[in-house]
A and B are shown apart, each in its own frame.
Chain A
Amino acid sequence: MSGNVGVEEVKERNKQLISDVLEVYPEKFGKRRAKHLTTFEADKGECAVKSNIKSIPGVMTIRGCAYAGSKGVVWGPIKDMVHISHGPVGCGQYSWAARRNYYIGTTGVDSFVTMQFTSDFQEKDIVFGGDKKLSTIIDEIETLFPLNKGISIQSECPIGLIGDDIEAVSKAKAKQYNKTIVPVRCEGFRGVSQSLGHHIANDSIRDWVFDKLGDKPARFESTPYDVAIIGDYNIGGDAWSSRILLEEMGLRVIAQWSGDGTLAELESTPRAKLNVLHCYRSMSYISRHMEEKYGTPWVEYNFFGPSKIAASLREIASHFDDAIKQGAERVIVKYQALTDAIIAKYLPRLEGKKVMLFVGGLRPRHVIGAYEDLGVEVIGTGYEFGHNDDYQRTAHYVKDGTLIYDDVTGFEFEKFVEKIQPDLVGSGVKEKYIFQKMGVPFRQMHSWDYSGPYHGYDGFAIFARDMDMAINSPVWRMTKTPW
């Protein structure tokens, strides 16, 4: 997309592409989908799409549900609590250990992240209610896992439909065991995607962790440099390769939310001087709450790729004194040689390549800088469950002529990629094999395709290696028969 003529052509092509896919829908739904598809116009400065509204039925949305947002994203990684998938067996089974939230702990003794605790609802539980069963389950957890620090109850669809009172059970059991027990109303039918599950989970931390703190004494002496990492799920170790930079610049990370996190860290967070927020979409709610209630300011940051890392380190440092500001500069200098070497090695192999993304609520914009650091252009992007404020933020990242698709359907995504033929698609496991069969290189951008970390300077090196490995694999030469 060099020069204006090129951009205009791209815009025209996108317009045609959008109209081509919409034509195939029944009229009513073509009109509804039209509001989710657009081309970014730099002079207008916005991604004018509707978002965070119901998926239309039958279209193969890539979205998940509120339970996935609460259990799978926010609560699941808190390692020293037991998270009960409350309802039938499936939800917990399909999300069991699937998200790569790395942690250090003795699983089954003091840590429980990669375990599947379920009430495995049977017909009688639906008919007679599951509160008694839940109560017994909590007793059994206390017997078999005495070192757990608390329990969360992750509601699956039936709970809210059969009128169970999990809050009453939680209160009674919390009193009995003098423990944190958190009922979460994240039934999968609530809201339109994972997103409401994040919000509900955030609120449950507010109501059942913060508001129950009482006069619990602090576990440590505060310092002026205490910060909490909010919204990093430590996928492949992301939070660790982020934390190290914050500590190297002189800050003290007192909590990680929620990758490799603990209940103690959640409880200590109101003591932070600054909350640093990576995934705005999933944890802005609790950040705003802490600002209002405890006066803790928060700042968004982006640790993908050296350009955004350096800008973010400086932004974070701007909330502190000169010692930290110098610390940020020191960290940037420390990693300059590594960054230069990575770019020198991979940019020539990747320059000019074009990528299309479709991820959750943050990465569709957050990773763009990292690609650009390697000379790769993002020509299409969209969110599974972004809101209007995400698309507003996206406008600061994308270039003129970028194709924008909200809650893309399987059909649309396939057609877009088929026509545009990007050099790489970054999305999830449900999409991976579709595009690879089409001969288009692919990387999973939720799980890092079982690699990672991608955050921080250490992560950027891995990101660069992986994108090169995907795009320049010899396999893509062989998809066509030579005869």
Chain B
Amino acid sequence: MAQDAEKVIDHFELFRGAEYTGMLANKKRLFEDPVAAEELERVKEWTKSKEYCEKNFARECLTINPAKACQPLGAVFAALGFEGTLPFVHGSQGCVAYYRSHFSRHFKEPTSAVSSSMTEDAAVFGGLNNLIDGMANAYSLYKPKMIAVSTTCMAEVIGDDLNAYIKGAKEKKSIPMDFDVPFAHTPAFVGSHVTGYDNVMKGILEHFWNGKAGTVPKLERQPNGKLNFIGGFDGYTVGNMREIKRLFDLMGVEYTILGDNSDVWDTPGDGKFRMYDGGTTLEDAANAIHANATISMQEFCTEKTLDLIEARGQEVIAFNHPIGVEGTDRFLMEVARLTGKSIPDSIAKERGRLVDAIADSNAHIHGKKFAIYGDPDLTLGLAAFLLELGGEPIHILSTNGGKEWVQKVDALLASSPFGKDCHVYAGKDLWHMRSLLFTEPVDFLIGNTYGKFLERDTKTPLIRIGFPIFDRHHHHRYPVWGYQGGLNVLVKILDRIFEHMDATTNDVAKNDYSFDIIR
């Protein structure tokens, strides 16, 4: 017996003992009808081949291990960025359980959202009553300042009309007539989580700017010199938002963050649960119409939102998740241009420190080959940073990337000699990436937690950057934007390179001459 009260062992060690390995070997041999060992080995090797890669890329209908989620996830993300806001997802209830779990596994924080819990009868008769009752319950129990409604695919397939339903809920007195209920249709079979973010952000601004569902006059824009900032769907939102606010404060910029999730996903452990914390105030959301300009950090998360803002007369500027020196330079210079503020010396010093750090360390990254996958904006930001570091992107893949994304990436790659060997894959998944890592290997892979399966199969060391990160804690607290954020990303990359270097130079009397104490 392996277990011992003095040193209790769990799944990591328990099942490695002979009593368990023997038992499981018998199970396999006698009862599992296993594939013959040689056949297993043959097929395993075949999955690494060029031939397999071609068959894999010939797939037309099957998606395997995609790097994207569905619209309503982004809807909940966007809604949670507003003060006292309860995301209300109209449709089946299981979806909401999934979004809440998914975010909690990434942020290690509670995520509050409710569902209208539609079932079979609602599939037949529509979900009007579910929405009316759900509004009344949510309002009574959770006392939100605003309820932001989005939809699951069920409600979309049966064609529920949110605008009419919300009016119905107000007429039935589920909520006061003047209560703020912005909404957006967010069908899961269109786009991805970044689309859902965009739709809800747009829905919230439309609500406040266009007369709050007919209850007040439309707002007339009176430019006030302020700057709006939208982060987009971002796994690093906690650290990033705080870093952006710090930079804006240093510059003396008057700004409104539209969708600030940094407090609601980082509440203190002080004996109290805060269902709501921080976020853009509803007043600020309304007044954001008067800003001179809006900056989006993620173009593909805010396409429709920026169209709306631009149509109301603001200048809009979109970045692609800028990471590193030049991306941050461009971002700050745009902020300076749009606000008339200068970039203070203290920020120039931060820049200098990042440049200094790159000078110190780039030898370890120069010429290394990378594969990157993730959301369209993030992959662009990461690729640009790698090019700055002298790293060579070889595969860039985005399951939710489209033609425009490909054009942007191609243009970026063409701008640097380090980008010349790179291929870009839109709409592909991590099973495609697996083939690529076998047939055209790279030194390092950059992606989210799911990349660990690729690391295991292909032995390509994984640098965890993206969303979700389930199996490392607290990374979301550290920014990847700004020069400080660039430094964080640089260190993440370097740490993995050094770990890998150590792990491959520690064979005693064979290669441990390179097991250097100074690197």
* A residues neighboring B (CB under 8 Å): 24-26, 29, 54-68, 80, 87-91, 93-98, 102, 104, 106-110, 114-123, 125-126, 133-134, 136-137, 140-141, 143-144, 146-147, 149, 156-158, 160-162, 188-192, 194, 219-220, 236-237, 240-241, 243-244, 247, 253-256, 260, 262-265, 268, 334-335, 338, 341-342, 344-345, 409-411, 414, 428-430, 432-439, 451-453, 457-458, 461-462, 464-465, 475, 479-481
Contacts and interface: CB of A to CB of B under 8 A. Distances in A.
User: Which of A115, A118, A188, A439 neighbours the largest number of chain B CB atoms within 10 Å of its CB?
Assistant: A188
A339 B431 CA distance: 46
Query: What are the nearest 10 A-B pairs in CB distance?
Result: A65-B94, A58-B134, A90-B70, A57-B134, A341-B5, A264-B33, A94-B98, A58-B137, A88-B188, A58-B138
A461 B98 contact: no
Given A115-B64, A158-B154, A334-B1, A240 B35 contact: no
19 contacts: A65-B94, A87-B189, A110-B40, A116-B65, A117-B63, A118-B64, A144-B431, A188-B92, A190-B120, A220-B30, A237-B11, A240-B20, A253-B27, A434-B273, A437-B110, A452-B11, A457-B3, A462-B9, A481-B270
Contacts of A146: 43
Nearest to A116: B65
A93 B104 contact: no
Interface stretch (B111-119, B290-298, B483-491): B111-119
B23 A192 contact: no
Contact of B118 (A24, A140, A189, A414): A189
B23 A157 contact: no
Contact of B273 (A26, A156, A438, A457): A438
Given A462-B8, A481-B270, A140 B61 contact: yes
Interface in B13-60: 14-15, 19-20, 23-24, 27-28, 30-35, 39-40, 43-44, 47, 52, 55-56, 59-60
Interface residues of B, number: 109
B33 A479 contact: no
User: Which of B31, B100, B120 neighbours the largest number of chain A CB atoms within 10 Å of its CB?
Assistant: B31
A343 to B, nearest CB: 9
Contacts of A158: 153-154, 157, 189
A256 to B, nearest CB: 8
B311 interface: no
Contacts of B105: 98, 429
B417 interface: no
Given A57-B131, A479-B269, A90 B98 contact: yes
Contacts of A162: 157
A122 B189 contact: yes
B32 A123 contact: no
B287 interface: no
B51 to A, nearest CB: 11
Given A106-B44, A429-B101, A57 B94 contact: no
Contacts of A439: 269-271
Nearest to A160: B123
Given A67-B94, A107-B457, A137-B62, 14 more contacts: A55-B117, A90-B69, A93-B70, A94-B73, A110-B40, A115-B453, A125-B189, A133-B61, A157-B152, A429-B101, A433-B108, A439-B269, A439-B271, A457-B3
Given A117-B62, A190-B120, A59 B453 contact: no
Given A192-B119, A244-B19, A161 B269 contact: no
Interface in B281-320: none
Nearest to B449: A97
Nearest to A29: B137
A232 to B, nearest CB: 13
Contacts of A161: 123, 154, 157-158
A409 B138 CA distance: 11
Given A144-B55, A410-B112, A437 B47 contact: no
Interface string B422-433: 000000000100
Nearest to A418: B273
A432 B188 CA distance: 28
Nearest to A254: B31
A280 B138 CA distance: 33
B142 to A, nearest CB: 7
A220 B65 CA distance: 36
A189 B270 contact: no
A260 B15 CA distance: 13
User: Which of B24, B94, B136 neighbours the largest number of chain A CB atoms within 10 Å of its CB?
Assistant: B94
User: Which of A109, A219, A479 neighbours the largest number of chain B CB atoms within 10 Å of its CB?
Assistant: A109
B256 to A, nearest CB: 28
User: Which of A58, A143, A254, A429 neighbours the largest number of chain B CB atoms within 10 Å of its CB?
Assistant: A58
A95 B95 CA distance: 11
Interface string B444-476: 000000100100010000000000000000000
A36 B52 CA distance: 55
A87 B153 contact: yes
A430 B100 contact: yes
B68 interface: yes
Contacts of B270: 437, 439, 479-481
User: Which of B63, B99, B158 neighbours the largest number of chain A CB atoms within 10 Å of its CB?
Assistant: B63
Interface string B64-97: 1110111011000000000000001001111101
